[in-house]
Structure 1
Amino acid sequence: MHTSFAKRCAILEGLRERTRVATSEFYQKPNAIAPPLAPRFIVKPIGGNIFDVIERSTGKIITERFGHNNATTHARELDAKVQHSKVKQFGRTLSIWALCSGVILALFALFDNHV
């Protein structure tokens, strides 16, 4: 790579990093509302009124649907299911943590009575 081009790339990457830092600092201020996140699933036409529902992060085709309304509805349902599963996972983790801490406290109480 030519040296002037490499310098330009390094400068641009530094500016991008400063932009990311400034943006994150801005949204940490009070009364600053962060923009909504991009949807997890996108709908792409493949022809003949058939649409693919694609996971945005991996590019993997999840399903095919006939009709745009059916495809977008299914993509919204999948996105809601992912959000709901995150809440379920948090609840499950919290209940396991509470159970383990209760067992540990019970064991401490049991050993305290015997000593």
Structure 2
Amino acid sequence: MHPSFTQRVTALEGLRARTRQATAEFYQKPGVMPPPLAPLIIVRSSGNNTFSLINRATGEVIAERFGHNNATSHARELEADIKRFNVKQFGRHLRDWALRISAILFLFAFFGSHA
């Protein structure tokens, strides 16, 4: 690669890194809300009034629906199902409650032995 191109690429990478850092610092300020996340499911036209629902992370087609309104409503339902309570969240809640209960039992045992 030509030296001038290399210098330009290096300069642009430095600017991109600084931009990412400044953006992260901006959203850490109190009262600043980050922009909403992009949708998890994309609705794309397949032709003949058929729409494909595509998982954005994997790129695989989840479902196909006839009509734009049917496709978008089904995509909203699928995103709501994904955001609902799942096994990972259940595990976190179970762990948190187990830690709370064990701390309370420890306090009772500690103060009960001194009484």
Name segments (4+ residues, structure 1) moved above 3 Å: 96-102
Unpaired segments of 5 or more residues in structure 1?
Answer: 110-115
Number of the residue aligned with 1:112:
none
Alignment of 1:17-28 (within 5 A): 17-28=17-28
- Measured against aligned partners, the alpha-carbon deviations of 1:64-96 in whole angstroms (never above 9, x if no partner) come to 11110111111111111111045x532333315
What secondary structure sits across from 2:84 in the alignment? helix
20-29 or 1-10: which moved more?
1-10
Number of the residue aligned with 1:37:
37
What secondary structure sits across from 2:39 in the alignment? coil
Aligned length: 105
Root-mean-square deviation over aligned CA pairs: 2.3
What secondary structure sits across from 2:46 in the alignment? strand
Number of the residue aligned with 1:48:
48
Unpaired segments of 5 or more residues in structure 2?
Answer: 110-115
C-alpha separation between the residues in 2 aligned to 1:12 and 1:52? 37
Number of the residue aligned with 1:95:
94
Percent of aligned positions with the same letter in both sequences? 51
TM-score of the superposition, structure 1-length normalised?
A: 0.76
